[in-house]
Structure 1
Amino acid sequence: MADFLTALNNIIWSPALVFLCLGAGLYFTVVTRGLQVRCIPDMLSQISKGKKSEHGVSSFESLMISLAGRVGIGNIAGVATAIAFGGPGAVFWMWAMAFLGSATSFIECTLGQIYKEQDRDTGEYRGGPAFYIEKSLKHTKAAPFMLVYAIVFAIAMILATSYFLPGIQSNGVAAAVENAWGVSVGWTGVVLAVMLAIIIIGGIKRIANFASLVVPFMAVAYIIIALIILFMNFSQIPEVFGLIFKSAFNLEAGFSGMLGLAIMWGVKRGIYSNEAGQGTGPQAAAAAEVSHPAKQGFVQAFAVYVDTLFVCSATAFIIISTDMYKVFENESEDGPVRYAGAIPDGVAVGPGYVQEGMNSTFSGFGPSFVAVAIAFFAFTTILAYYYLAETNLAYFNRWIKSQTARRALIWLLRVLIIVSVLYGAVTTPGAAWALGDIGVGTTAWLNVVAILFLQVPALKALKDYTAQKKQGLDPQFDPEKIGIKNADFWVERAKARKAAEANKAQLTDVDES
């Protein structure tokens, strides 16, 4: 099984996927005229101004759901893995993937908003790649093919987020807790499973509330600790940045010949961490209550920055500035050690690198703090995974007439993700990461190819938003006005808004007369 997973992983994560993700990010950066830089004011404005409604969460809550999925074990163990197998230069390529991926995230998340709909059982907004793949070309001869493509994506996402990916998170928590306090991995798995069950039964609103409380607090605390460590090693800051940039372009003697590995591991772990192009962000984006799809596209574009440029960078600085890492050849801990660093022998690649880095600065503090950070980051990520899986199950539930059958499938999904958490906690890290990489890679392939073909509605929405902003208006979305078809939710909303405006105008005329 291990050999099979490795072989499948190598096929999915071939250089073709790396170049596809980088190329798509570069292309979307060009066609959106660098929106990840020029639209930062719009990103920050929408995060603070967005309001929730009966059916949708606020832009901030949607961002927290998204960050709950993005900020997880990948920000700690994933960064350590990238450095161990790709060298310090992998960090630069994670940054590059974040910058380019921000534009990709805007496109996919704007599409998620354009083609969202309301869940017929809960009234909540649902959307994502399966929805926009099916709907965007529904009026064309390609409709049957796109329907099949959407179904394949939805199945892949359900499998990835309900079984493949949760195991990585619970495995990282179990390893960190055992390293810090000696608690059995089995007991950690049970505690995680019970807490997960309590929250997911409450649906999207409870998940959003929990994420809004936990994610900002832990992310800020983690970044602050990293900055303290960095400034306590102030003299090494130029050296850390120099090592990252030199290694990224094969200019550092100690890591010569690792350019390909630096790019591969940087992009791979960058995509796993910030999820740009993976197809997970659009589901959270679709849940938000906004007046124009581009607004939530901006918010989710900013989420990529928070994840990689802030949290992942904090991890990298902790590891590199304290010299608590090793670099292995052959992309395996069994391979020869190219760089030994100052980390004690026997510390496995993963959270242990960060724990030892913190411990070298604050003796006795590192293992416990990292264990707590990983526990919260990973747990909120598992919650986000459940929401993604439920959203894609809801895609199929639209065709199931029996409400009892729909509810039974939801409960089956809940059982599956709880089993995944329990199994992931006690399995080996290698197997957990292999399954996770397969899940991430598969959905990334399907989604990036899709948005390259379906980008036009998102670009039209961006142009429409910009035009309305220049007129001093608060952008309101009317898909028919700008030639976007099959955005039924927004068509009905635009009609209702026009009717309300007409009624208000009539009342005003009556009052004046």
Structure 2
Amino acid sequence: METLSNLVNTMNDYLYSYVLIVLLLFTGLFFTFKSKGVQFRLFPEMFRVLTDKATIKGGKKGVSSFQAFTISAASRIGTGNIAGVATAIALGGPGAVFWMWVMAFIVAASSFVESTLAQLYKIKDGNNFRGGPAYYMEKGLNKRWMGVIFAIAITFCYGFVFNAVQTNTIAASMQSSFGFDKFWVGIFVAILTACIIFGGVQRIVSVTQFVVPIMAVAYMVVALIVIILNISEVPAMLKLIVTDAFSWKSGAGGVIGVAIMQGFKRGLFSNEAGLGSAPNAAATANVTHPVKQGLIQTLGVYVDTILVCTATAVIVLMSDVYKLPGAGEDSRIDITQQSLVNQLGDWVGIFLTIAIFMFAFSSVIGNYYYGETNLEFIKESKTMIFVYRIAVVLFLVFGAVAKVALVWNLADLFMAIMAFINLIAILMLYKIAFRLLKNYTDQRKKGKDPVFKSKDMPDLKNIECWEDDK
């Protein structure tokens, strides 16, 4: 097991130091330049389209913009927002928060491109839609082999490894707060998950659209209380984040590079922009124009990193727990938990345990869906989906008892592989996304609610859900 852990660590160091971070930054900056800062200039429009109702076709109402947003948010907003941010600060210093913000603003442009493409190349799935990177690799690039590789990577990454991360954090928190045995916590989460995932996408939607807003608001309220109680220290905290980001003696890591790497890595794990995961949720929405989901998923990056991750950063930095020896190793979730207890008392430890459960469980549901829709891309087989569901349930139990470091390192490795494949694909297809953006903004300038049909761009092929008679 130790040999495997060392191998995974070596691969991660290479991928994140020399490949992925450079590619992510280049892609995000390139898309920002080409789109004239779509993630900034259309910020108000993101809120307008969030309230769009699902269009009704054939008497059937599909998944709305908001519901698709909550599916992706369910996966985005998870233990990365609580344990991941705390770990980034413990290992990279307060400056890691600054680089997390920078990463979010840059890669938001990539999120726009990938989600817009997912909407364009989505396919019908009964009364719903499905799609994602695997689908636009096949239909947009005519490279099914590339889509299959991505589909396999995301299924293992989200369905198995990332879900193991979520139950690992739930189990650690439950054991710390209530003394529960990790194995039985894993069994409980596995049973609860099985009750939902065997119900299909509509049951997943019904759970996420209820759980996600409640848990996000509750967590933000607690963070706001911490800020109010320490309002005089906020300016100093913000100054610390910025100055530490450029300090050659940055935090526990000792060098500025560690702060940057931790901020970028944990930011990516949290907001998933450019990773190729959120487009799977974006494709489910029944909207009138592909750009609408591109904008909504961009907003999701801001909600995740600028709001929820910053809330955790405030909680952690208002305490000195992250400075303790060993912080960020086997006590990832304990950093945030103990920081809150120091600020608000023992009762808040129980609140955070509940919040962690809700964050992580909603992520499990969203992660599961990403794997399912990609397996269906490889082959539509009820038997294969059934086996996948059983495997997901078993991995949830495994994650509860596995070593923390190995699970997180495996998550980083699979995330890097996925992101590399997806970023290459969207760099090859970005012109289509920006043609759609121009079509959208031209209609908005005329005061219209944008509608896209295949006749608007007759040269595009394989966009079956946008034909004029659909």
Instruction: Give TM-score, length-normalised by structure 2.
Output: 0.95
TM-superposed CA distance for 1:332, in Å, is: 7.3
Tell me the secondary structure at the aligned position of residue 322 of structure 2: coil
Question: Which residue number in structure 2 is paired with residue 169 of structure 1?
Answer: 166
Tell me, in whole angstroms, the C-alpha distance in 2 between the residues paired with 1:384 and 1:82: 24
TM superposition shift of 1:257 = 4.8
Residue in structure 2 matching 1:444, options 414, 419, 424: 419
What is residue 21 of structure 1 aligned with on the other side?
24
Per the alignment, residue 65 of structure 2 pairs with 59
**Counterpart in the other structure of 1:367:** 349
* C-alpha spacing 1:327/1:86, structure 2 compared with 1 (3 Å): farther
Change in Cα spacing, 1:278 to 1:484, as seen in structure 2 (3 Å) is farther
Cα distance, 1:73 vs structure 2 = 0.4
User: Residue 469 of structure 2 aligns to which amino acid in structure 1?
Assistant: K
Offset of 1:58 from its aligned partner?
A: 0.5
Tell me which amino acid in the other structure corresponds to 1:393. Answer: L
| Corresponding residue number in structure 1 for 2:110 | 104
Q: CA deviation at 1:421?
A: 0.5
What is the match of residue 11 of structure 2? 8
| Structure with bigger gyration radius | 1
- Give the deviation of 1:87 after TM superposition: 1.0
Which residue identity lines up with residue 173 of structure 2 in the other structure?
A: A
2:49 match: 46
Q: Structure 1 residue 308: deviation in Å?
A: 0.5
- Name the counterpart of 1:286: 283
1:127 to 2:131 alignment: yes
* Cα distance between partner residues in 1 of 2:343 and 2:373: 43
SS in structure 1 at match of 2:411: helix
SS in 1 for 2:118: helix
Q: Work out the percentage of aligned pairs sharing the same amino acid.
A: 40
1-structure distance, mates of 2:306, 2:266: 13
1:211 aligns with 2:229: no
Runs (5+) with no aligned partner, structure 2: none
The letter of the residue matching 2:25 is L
**1-side partners of 2:78 and 2:152: how far apart?**
23
1:278 counterpart SS class = coil
Q: Which amino acid aligns with 1:216?
A: P
Deviates most, 20-29 or 179-188: 20-29
* Change beyond 3 A, Cα 1:457–1:189: same
Q: Structure 1 52/349 Cα, relative in aligned 2: closer, same or farther at 3 Å? A: farther
CA distance in 2, matches of 1:256, 1:272: 19
Range moving further from structure 2, 473-482 or 172-181: 473-482
Q: How does 1:76-475 map to 2 (within 5 A)?
A: 76-119=82-125, 122-138=126-142, 146-250=143-247, 257-326=254-323, 333=329, 348-398=330-380, 406-475=381-450
Cα distance in 1 for partners of 2:369, 2:459 equals: 28
The structure-2 alpha-carbon separation of the partners of 1:256 and 1:163, relative to structure 1 and needing over 3 Å to count, comes to closer
CA shift digits 1:358-387 (9 cap, x unpaired): 111221123211111110000010100110
The 1:253/1:163 distance shift into structure 2, 3 A limit, reads closer
Query: In the alignment, is the contact (CA less than 8 A) between 1:83 and 1:327 conserved in 2?
Result: no
Deviations 1:220-261 (A, max 9, x none): 000110011112011210111111101111166766952111
| C-alpha distance in 1 between matches for 2:141 and 2:146 | 12
Residue by residue, what CA displacement relative to the aligned partner does 1:276-320 show, whole Å, maximum 9, x if unpaired? Answer: 001001000000010000011111000001100000000000000
User: Deviation of residue 83 (structure 1)?
Assistant: 0.8
> Is the Cα–Cα contact under 8 Å of residues 103 and 264 in structure 2 kept in the other structure?
yes
1:75 alignment partner, one of 71, 81, 104: 81
Identify which range, 231-240 or 377-386, moves more after superposition: 231-240
CA-CA distance at 1:15 after TM superposition: 3.2
Q: State the SS of the aligned residue for 2:341.
A: helix
Query: What is the CA–CA distance in structure 1 between the aligned matches of 2:250 and 2:408, rounded to whole Å?
Result: 30
Normalised by the length of structure 1, the TM-score is 0.87
Output the aligned Cα RMSD.
1.8
State the alpha-carbon separation in 1 of the partners of residues 107 and 41 from structure 2: 15
Distance 1:305 1:173 in 2: 25
Judged with a 3 Å threshold, the aligned counterparts in structure 2 of structure 1 residues 267 and 328 are, in CA distance, closer, same or farther, namely farther
Instruction: Look up the match of 2:451.
Output: 476
Q: CA deviation at 1:11?
A: 3.1
Please say if residues 322 and 328 of structure 2, whose CA atoms lie closer than 8 Å, have aligned partners that are also in contact: no
SS of the counterpart of 2:364? helix
The aligned counterpart of 1:401 is none
SS at match of 2:365: helix
Q: Distance in 2 between matches of 1:68 and 1:484?
A: 36
What is the identity, as a one-letter code, of the residue corresponding to 1:312? Answer: C
Distance 1:366 1:440 in 2: 32
Q: Is the 8 A contact 1:197 1:414 kept in 2?
A: yes
Matched to 2:98, the amino acid is F
Q: What amino acid maps onto 2:290 in structure 1?
A: P
Secondary structure (helix, strand or coil) at the match of 2:321 reads coil
Contact 1:114–1:487 under 8 Å retained in 2? no
SS at the partner of 2:309?
Answer: helix
- Alpha-carbon shift at residue 430 of structure 1 (Å): 0.5
Q: Secondary structure at the match of 2:345?
A: coil
Following the alignment from structure 1 to structure 2, what is the Cα–Cα distance between the partners of residues 255 and 441? Answer: 24
- Measure the CA separation in 1 of the matches of 2:369 and 2:62: 14
Larger deviation, residues 192-201 vs 480-489:
480-489
Question: What amino acid maps onto 2:30 in structure 1?
Answer: Y
For 2:406 and 2:166, how far apart are their aligned partners in 1? 12
Name which of structure 1's ranges 473-482 and 58-67 shifts more when overlaid on structure 2.
Answer: 473-482
C-alpha distance in 2 between matches for 1:302 and 1:454: 22
Say whether the 8 Å CA contact 2:120–2:466 is kept in structure 1.
Answer: no
1:167·1:424 contact (CA, 8 Å) conserved in 2? yes
Name the CA shift for 1:93/1:327 in 2 (closer, same or farther; >3 Å).
farther
Whole-Å Cα distance in 2 between the matches of residues 252 and 242 of structure 1? 15
1:381-413 alpha-carbon deviations (Å, 9 max, x no partner): 010011000010110225xxxxxxx11111011
Give unpaired runs (5+ residues) of structure 1.
Answer: 139-145, 334-347, 399-405, 497-513
